[in-house]
C-alpha cells in the first residue's frame, strides 16, 4: 500500500470516528503560501513546508467539506488504478455527486488547488 493511500485511509477513519462520536470532523491541509515553502537546491524545486490549516465541518462548510472528501476519494481511486485525470476530467466527475456536485470548473479547481494540493 502506498504512503498516500495509507494517509488517506488514516484521515478518513479519523473523520468517521469523530462522526460516530458526534464530534465535528476536521481535515488538515498544507498552507499554500510563499511563507510556507522552502527551496531544495539539490532537488531543484520548491516544496511546501510544515504549516497546516484545519478545516472543521460546520453548517456553512458542509458542501465544501463533502466536496473535499469526494475529491480525496477520487484521488485514492486514481492512485489505486494507476490512472490519472485532468482538472477538466475531475470536474466532470463531480457532476455525479448529487448535492455535493460542483456548479462550474472554477468551483472544482478551487477544491483541488486550495484544499487538496500538497
24, 25, 26, 67, 109 from 18: Cα distances, Å? 6, 5, 9, 18, 28
**Catalytic residue flag (residue 39):** no
Residue with cell string 476536521? 26
DSSP 17: H
- CA-nearest of 24, 21, 27, 22 to 7 is 27
16, 39, 91, 92: the catalytic one is 92
Place of cell 537546491: 41
Hey, which residues are catalytic here? 92
Amino acid at each position: 500500500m502506498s504512503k498516500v493511500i495509507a494517509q488517506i485511509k488514516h484521515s478518513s477513519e479519523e473523520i468517521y470516528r469523530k462522526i460516530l462520536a458526534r464530534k465535528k470532523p476536521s481535515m488538515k491541509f498544507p498552507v499554500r503560501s510563499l511563507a510556507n515553502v522552502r527551496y531544495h537546491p539539490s532537488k531543484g524545486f520548491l516544496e511546501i513546508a510544515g504549516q497546516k490549516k484545519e478545516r472543521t465541518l460546520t453548517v456553512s462548510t458542509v458542501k465544501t467539506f463533502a466536496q473535499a472528501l469526494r475529491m480525496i476519494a477520487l484521488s485514492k481511486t486514481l492512485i489505486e488504478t494507476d490512472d490519472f485525470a485532468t482538472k477538466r476530467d475531475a470536474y466532470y466527475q463531480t457532476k455525479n455527486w448529487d448535492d455535493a456536485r460542483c456548479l462550474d470548473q472554477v468551483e472544482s479547481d478551487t477544491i483541488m488547488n486550495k484544499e487538496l494540493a500538497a
